[in-house]
């Protein structure tokens, strides 16, 4: 099926055409190959690549049904962006993904921009408790270490941005600082019985 026919069928009101288009996406060797490569790269344990693809297709279908995705870019590329986002966020053991009510039209043309508008919701009480314990443990680190880890892991700053904010001489210095702080945090976690499960 050509990219244009795929787009047309996905936007069709005929359920047979839509189902055929989704089946084409689901069976695509390009899509499946990329997802399997990423699954290895992200070392997925809890989810199979097929599960990720199914979730991504459901999200794509929601966007199509709501009229928020008009298929003006390649559908496969957009679907792969959703898959990659699900895998990255799957590392955080997130139980479900919720889309913001309003997504700017500009975000619907790029998988990367769409990912920025996906909100992750942790629903498990055990996971929420783990996060509370982790934050308590981080408070045992020096202020400099807390700041370095916060900037890099929670605010997702680059090493150069961490260096700038911490007034370090280079990104390499920031990398060394983050590594040392991460090692300190690992030791604290290793000695805390609340993390033994």
In angstroms, the CA 169 to CA 166 distance is 9
Q: Which residue has the higher pLDDT, 99 or 38?
A: 38
Q: How confident is the model at residue 169 (pLDDT cuts 50, 70, 90)?
A: very high
Q: How confident is the model at residue 121 (pLDDT cuts 50, 70, 90)?
A: very low
User: Mean pLDDT of all residues in the chain?
Assistant: 76
What's the half-sphere exposure (Cβ side, CA atoms, 13 Å) at 43? 2
End-to-end Cα, the chain, rounded Å: 49
Q: Which residue has the higher pLDDT, 63 or 98?
A: 63
The highest-level CATH class for domain 126-195 is mainly alpha
Distances (CA, A) of 45 to 40, 83, 84, 127, 148: 10, 15, 15, 17, 29
Q: Which three-class secondary structure state does DSSP give residue 126? A: helix
Region 66-89: what's the mean pLDDT? 76
Q: By CB neighbour count within 10 A (0-12 exposed, 13-18 middle, 19+ buried), where does 24 fall?
A: middle
Q: What percent of the chain has pLDDT over 90?
A: 9
Q: How confident is the model at residue 142 (pLDDT cuts 50, 70, 90)?
A: very high
Domain ranges, ordered by start, for the chain: 3-123, 126-195
Region 153-165: what's the mean pLDDT? 86
| Lookup result for tokens 């499960």 | 197
Handedness of CA 184, 190, 191, 195 (dihedral sign): positive
């Amino acid at each position: 099926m050509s990219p244009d026919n795929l787009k047309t069928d996905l936007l069709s009101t005929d359920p047979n055409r839509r189902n055929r288009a989704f089946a084409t996406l689901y069976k695509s060797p390009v899509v499946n190959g990329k997802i399997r490569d990423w699954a290895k790269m992200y070392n997925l344990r809890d989810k199979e690549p097929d599960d990720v693809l199914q979730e991504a297709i459901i999200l794509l279908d929601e966007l199509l049904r709501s009229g928020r995705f008009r298929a003006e870019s390649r559908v496969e590329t957009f679907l792969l962006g959703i898959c990659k986002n699900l895998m990255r966020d799957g590392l955080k053991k997130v139980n479900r993904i919720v889309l913001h009510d309003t997504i700017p039209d500009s975000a619907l043309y790029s998988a990367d921009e769409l990912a920025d508008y996906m909100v992750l919701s942790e629903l498990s009480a055990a996971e929420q408790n783990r996060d509370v314990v982790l934050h308590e443990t981080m408070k045992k680190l020096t202020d400099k270490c807390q700041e370095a880890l916060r900037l890099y892991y929670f605010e997702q700053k680059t090493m150069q941005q961490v260096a700038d904010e911490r007034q370090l001489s280079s990104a390499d210095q920031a990398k060394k600082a983050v590594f040392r702080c991460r090692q300190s945090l690992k030791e604290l976690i290793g000695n805390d019985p609340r993390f033994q499960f």
